[in-house]
A and B are shown apart, each in its own frame.
Chain A
């Protein structure tokens, strides 16, 4: 079974540009999460999808960040326009179907975003 995949693995962009990160969860996992780790800090929750619906987006930093999950499969996270403080590693995770229980989250390798 394939794990969670993320693309690209690295991205270097200039301040003011747009970047789109992609996450493909494990097949059949309805729950998809985005997290971010700024250098030296803790991994922080950004948002949670259940299928195509946003269950919790309380961690999204501001309206420059837009997450979508078309058809309840893969998800994209767009940053527009990017700022220096957006640099960090963006992780995606997915978990098994169901919203009431607590399931193990499987993480992707992360996308390292550098904004210069």
Chain B
């Protein structure tokens, strides 16, 4: 069965530290990849997405992610985090095959940034 793994469940950083959150998926076909973020008390919102083309995608708020097909990975990065990046981050894949149009999520990573 298709699945998404997020390596870290909890990450604690100081402001200005660099961030990398790991995401691996298990599916051999064509995938569309997403990172969603949920700030405290807010909706899930899209941070960035990869459909095709340049495997390095830029998202909102200075985030980026790199799709490495050979490694089945889509890691999220930010060079310098801020206190306002404290949130829960979810990696998700959307299977691009026939009638499939559902998101499969990882378990989420809670990021706490200390000032």
A-B contact pairs, 24 of them (CB 8 A): A4-B43, A31-B101, A40-B107, A42-B105, A43-B90, A43-B103, A44-B105, A45-B103, A45-B104, A48-B101, A48-B102, A55-B99, A56-B101, A91-B44, A99-B99, A99-B101, A102-B32, A102-B51, A102-B96, A104-B49, A107-B44, A107-B45, A109-B42, A110-B44
Nearest A residue to B3 via CB reads: A42
In the complex, the chain A residue whose C-beta lies closest to that of B49 is: A104
**Chain A positions within 8 Å of B42 at CB level:** 109
Label chain B's interface by main secondary structure: strand
CB of B16 closer than 8 Å to a CB of A: no
A46 to B42, CA, bound (A): 21
Known: A42-B107, A42-B108, A43-B90. A104 touches B102 (CB 8 A): no
B12 at the interface (CB under 8 A from A): no
Please indicate which of the listed interface residues A59, A93, A107 has the most CB atoms of chain B within 10 Å of its own CB: A107
Establish whether residues A56 and B102, one from each chain, have CB atoms under 8 Å apart when the complex forms.
yes
Q: Nearest CB to that of A98 among chain B residues?
A: B101
Cβ contacts B76-115/A at 8 Å (1 or 0 each): 0000000000000010101010011111111110000000
